[in-house]
Amino acid sequence: MADSSFDRQKTWYDGFVKGSALEHGKPLVDEPRFIDLFCGIGGFRLGMGDASFECVFSCDNNSECQKTYRANFGEIPHGNIIDVATDDIPGFDVLCAGFPCQPFSISGKQKGFADTRGTLFFEICRIIEAKQPKVVFLENVKHLIHHDGGRTLQTILDKLCSLGYLTAWKLLNALDFGMPQNRERIIIIASKYGYFDFSRIEKSRCFMLLDYLDKDGSFEYLNEHDYTLIENPIKQRQSGLIFVGYRNKSIRKAGVRPGTEHLSRVHKQPNRIYSAMGMHPTLPSQETSGRYWVLMPDNRVRKLTIDECFRIMGFPSGFSRPSSLGEQYRQIGNSVCVPMVTAIANAVQQQFFEGKGATAYGSLGLVATNI
């Protein structure tokens, strides 16, 4: 009987590992280095740095993000990735990229690769092909999974496989990494050294939003006549959200059944009110006014401060924010959850650079896996 595809791939992997650093449990690299593409304000850099990875190159064409990045890391990221020559990038071990999510986001127009920002993924591939990093670490919005019937994601996975990488992906939530925010993101890990095991990522307990909010300060409250609270709010089991009401906005009354007014499309996130005793919904990149309203234990509704928004993304209290308030809201909505990046980076370190057993058996080869 002819060997199965799995057997052939297992034989290939065993041959690769035998005699290599992975077989002997030695670090493949003593001090792994990474590059920070589409770096934004530096969420990836903070998270990877906390896991002892060294950043050797950064890139983002947004001038406000460049200003914030420089204020915190002492360097100005390179500009448009299209203009970056691969010869100008130092050697590195891990490529990190939270490539533009708007082409795939449910909050955007969802044009995918028809949007020029969507095609920037292929610029990542250009760098991968030229530099051959040991690991590729990509992050994007949840809706990438469903975009164009799943074909967009499959195109990305197929391209990584064609470049010689074993690829795995999983949907992760900031809730599982100590942050009180229902922020789901697809994480793609590709490596030449084996199959990344998502089950080995160390997660941490998350407390309710209230525990992350300031007790004192100058807060913006809604007048009690400007909002409506619903009766008997129910906590959503998976997300931890407790939807308690909405701001009073003019909505179409014709054809609306009694008791369902709060379901109107007018009551999108900027008009919704959630309890501070639960979790907070995703901070979106399109929101520049910070219209995040929470019901406090004293039964008053107030707006989250910008400090609190950065806190529930895992940014340190001393993080410099030189941009305008509107830009800061946009920047934090576009960022990554720092503790999630750190947890993934630690798992990447253990599985690929300390020789603790990246998994090759299960699903390998040209079919990327969701584990």
* Residue 50 · residue 337 · CB < 8 Å: no
19, pLDDT greater than 60: no
Q: What is the CATH number of domain 5-206+337-370?
A: 3.40.50.150
Q: Calculate what percentage of the chain has a pLDDT beyond 70.
A: 78
Residue 246: Cβ within 10 Å count: 22
* Residue 370 · residue 167 · CB < 8 Å: no
Q: What is the CATH number of domain 209-332?
A: 3.90.120.10
- Residue 19 and residue 212: Cα distance in Å, rounded? 49
The position carrying tokens 């590992």 is 17
Q: Give 256's DSSP letter.
A: P
Q: Determine the average pLDDT of the residues in 273-289.
A: 92
Q: Which of 300, 297, 319, 301 is nearest to 309 (CA)?
A: 319
- Residue 39 and residue 336: Cα distance in Å, rounded? 10
Give pLDDT, residue 22. 54
Which entry of 55, 96, 101, 309 is annotated as an active-site residue? 101
* DSSP-derived secondary structure for 145-204: GTGGGGHHHHHHHHHHHHTT-EEEEEEEEGGGBT-SEE-EEEEEEEESS-B--GGGSPPB
* Residue 371 · residue 170 · CB < 8 Å: yes
β-bridge pairing 135-141 and 184-191:
antiparallel
Phi then psi dihedrals of residue 188, to 5 deg: -115, 125
Task: Read off the pLDDT band of 362 (50, 70, 90).
Answer: very low
pLDDT per residue over 294-346, tens digit each?
999 999 999 999 999 999 999 999 999 999 999 999 999 999 999 999 999 99
CB neighbour burial string for 316-344, b if at least 16 within 10 angstroms, e if fewer: eeebebebeeebbbbbbbbbbbbbbbbbb
Domain 5-206+337-370 identical in fold to domain 209-332: no
152, pLDDT greater than 90: no
**Both structure tokens of 78:** 């390179």
* Residue 157 · residue 167 · CB < 8 Å: yes
pLDDT per residue over 164-206, tens digit each?
999 999 999 999 999 999 999 999 999 998 989 999 999 998 8
Give pLDDT, residue 5. 39
β-bridge pairing 280-281 and 181-182:
parallel
β-bridge pairing 94-97 and 33-37:
parallel
26, pLDDT greater than 50: no
- In the chain, where are the structural domains located? 5-206+337-370, 209-332
Give pLDDT, residue 117. 42
Is residue 101 annotated as a catalytic residue, yes or no? yes
- Residue 41 and residue 65: Cα distance in Å, rounded? 5
- Residue 93 and residue 28: Cα distance in Å, rounded? 10
- Residue 72 and residue 310: Cα distance in Å, rounded? 14
CB neighbour burial string for 105-136, b if at least 16 within 10 angstroms, e if fewer: bebbebebbebebbebbebbeebbeebebbbb
* Residue 65 · residue 328 · CB < 8 Å: no
Q: Determine the average pLDDT of the residues in 46-57.
A: 97
Amino acid at 100: P
Tell me the Cα Rg of the chain: 22
β-bridge pairing 369-370 and 272-275:
unpaired
Q: Give 359's DSSP letter.
A: B
Residue 281: Cβ within 10 Å count: 16
- Residue 183 and residue 284: Cα distance in Å, rounded? 10
β-bridge pairing 293-295 and 280-281:
unpaired
- Residue 28 and residue 354: Cα distance in Å, rounded? 7
Task: Measure the N-to-C terminal CA separation of the chain; round to a whole number of Å.
Answer: 30
Instruction: Tell me which range, 22-26, 216-220, 232-236, 282-286, is most confidently predicted by mean pLDDT.
Output: 216-220
Q: Average pLDDT, whole number, for the chain?
A: 85
